[in-house]
Amino acid sequence: MGIRLGCVADDFTGATDLAINLVRAGMRVVQLIDVPPPGAERPVDADAVVIALKSRTVPAADAVDASLRALAWLRSAGAEQIYFKYCSTFDSTPAGNIGPVTEALMEALGTDFTIATPAFPDNGRTVFKGHLFVGDVLLSESGMRHHPLTPMTDPNLVSVLGAQTTRAVGLIDHTVVGRGATAVRARIHELREQGAGIAIVDAVSNDDLVRLGAAVQGMPLVTAGSGLAIGLPANWGFTPSHVAAALPAPGGHRAVISGSVSAATNQQVQEFLRTGRPAFSVDPLRVAAGADVSGEALAFAESHLADGPVLFCSTEAPEAVRTVQTRLGAAEAGELVERTLARVAEGLVERGVRQLVVAGGETSGAVVRALGITELRIGPQIDPGVPWCAAALPGGITLHITLKSGNFGGPAFFTDSFALLDREAS
């Protein structure tokens, strides 16, 4: 029937986060890694396509350019509605990139209004009176206030987005959303009359997102975290189905690569270590000094993969991260770690790893590019927002891979991931 929904995601883990919500609602989803180059176009057998970019923390002009290229590809593939997906913690700075990308997409689509909501209640992200909560605390009181690239110190999304856009930003609050799609559409009309071009929308439950999904049927562009995806497939008549999440049977060795510095991933690393499983720590200071850390990691792998899963991580507490950044610079430290972990991922696949968990958006981007992954088939959900995927690699290799946002997943996420594959295969 062709592509119904075309999605532009600003990082790789966020793309799979969005895709799994669409799959759970009954859509067959393919995730593309970057925009296919000219001449590489081919038909995609899916109801929705998610193009994963690495545009969250690049300069705003670069993010706009990449997003517009993704939009052009999706429109040429016949997408009926466009979804710009960003993080559920609204990662951004006064310079962008959420605002500039949103406005560029609006301009390209010829639309004067869109909505914005990072709400994802299943993962504790809710919006109330325009303010973003992470669990029970405001965004500004969460671990995101210490993020090394996009520290979030203002929970008022109307003001955060307003600082990044030329269009006025309004609010559709929970009382309106609670009255249903008709009330939301009436509020949109009212905001348009007042000159607003974008509206932050409250959502404190999945029911709110379902109501919002119905209200934005036919809107050329929606912008959101991954939560809104649960409310859109029904607009085309899709219903939840296990068939949409089917993947090939898994095999091979198992490994985890973690480059995230989030509190959630730190806890997951500590839980993995508590179980006594093998782990190798990547020290960016040693990498910067010229040590062959990736070679050491792969030698470690050769001794432990048979007893896996094996963890390779650079995850540290905030104090340790700041120390490294002070000595190397934030960007250089991050790039060193990403390059090292990407080389480790290549070596792991060469050594027979066929089930790979990757934690952290930037790390995920580096790994999928190093492995030459261009397309992912989205499979079953591990935790809210995080699915297993299947990628076809050269040589007839099928790699099961999950790309986890740093802030997502429970304490035992790493081991739970592999347990799910076991259950799916049985």
Among 203-217, 343-357, 400-414, where is mean pLDDT lowest?
400-414
- pLDDT on residue 224: 98
Average pLDDT over residues 270-279: 95
d(CA 116, CA 161): 9
Q: Which two tokens stand for residue 93?
A: 């700075």
- pLDDT on residue 53: 92
- pLDDT on residue 424: 84
Helix 263-274 to helix 413-425 angle, to the nearest 10 degrees? 70
- pLDDT on residue 325: 61
100 C-beta neighbours (distance < 10 Å), count: 20
Taking only the tens place, the pLDDT of each residue in 119-140 is: 999 889 999 999 999 999 998 8
Cα dihedral value 67, 131, 166, 6, nearest 10: 20
* The amino acid at 34: D
- pLDDT on residue 141: 87
Highest mean predicted confidence (pLDDT) among 25-39, 225-239, 330-344: 225-239
Q: Could you tell me which residues are beta bridge partners of residue 392?
A: 398
d(CA 96, CA 67): 13
Residue 350 scores a pLDDT above 90:
yes
pLDDT band, residue 260 (cuts 50/70/90):
confident
Residue 396 scores a pLDDT above 80:
yes
Could you tell me which of 40, 27, 33 has the C-alpha nearest to residue 8? 33
DSSP state of 307: G
Residue 98 scores a pLDDT above 90:
yes
pLDDT band, residue 326 (cuts 50/70/90):
low
- pLDDT on residue 294: 95
Average pLDDT over residues 284-290: 82
- pLDDT on residue 180: 98
More confident residue, 347 or 368: 347
Distances (CA, A) of 361 to 16, 52, 245, 334, 370: 10, 11, 22, 12, 14
d(CA 291, CA 337): 13
* Pairing status of strand 375-383 against strand 29-33: antiparallel
d(CA 33, CA 39): 16
Cβ-proximal residues to 129 (8 Å cutoff; 6+ apart), any chain: 171, 173, 174, 202
- pLDDT on residue 351: 97
pLDDT band, residue 81 (cuts 50/70/90):
very high
pLDDT band, residue 146 (cuts 50/70/90):
confident
Taking only the tens place, the pLDDT of each residue in 32-74 is: 989 998 766 667 889 999 999 989 989 999 999 999 999 999 9
- pLDDT on residue 263: 84
Taking only the tens place, the pLDDT of each residue in 181-201 is: 999 999 999 999 999 999 999
Q: What predicted TM-score, i.e. pTM, was given to this entire model?
A: 0.80
Q: Which H or E run contains 354?
A: strand 353-359
- pLDDT on residue 406: 85
d(CA 17, CA 26): 15
Distances (CA, A) of 364 to 7, 53, 302, 420: 18, 11, 22, 20
Output the DSSP codes for 195-243: TEEEEEE-BSSHHHHHHHHHHTTT-SEEEE-SGGGGGSGGGGT----GG
Average pLDDT value over all residues in the chain:
91
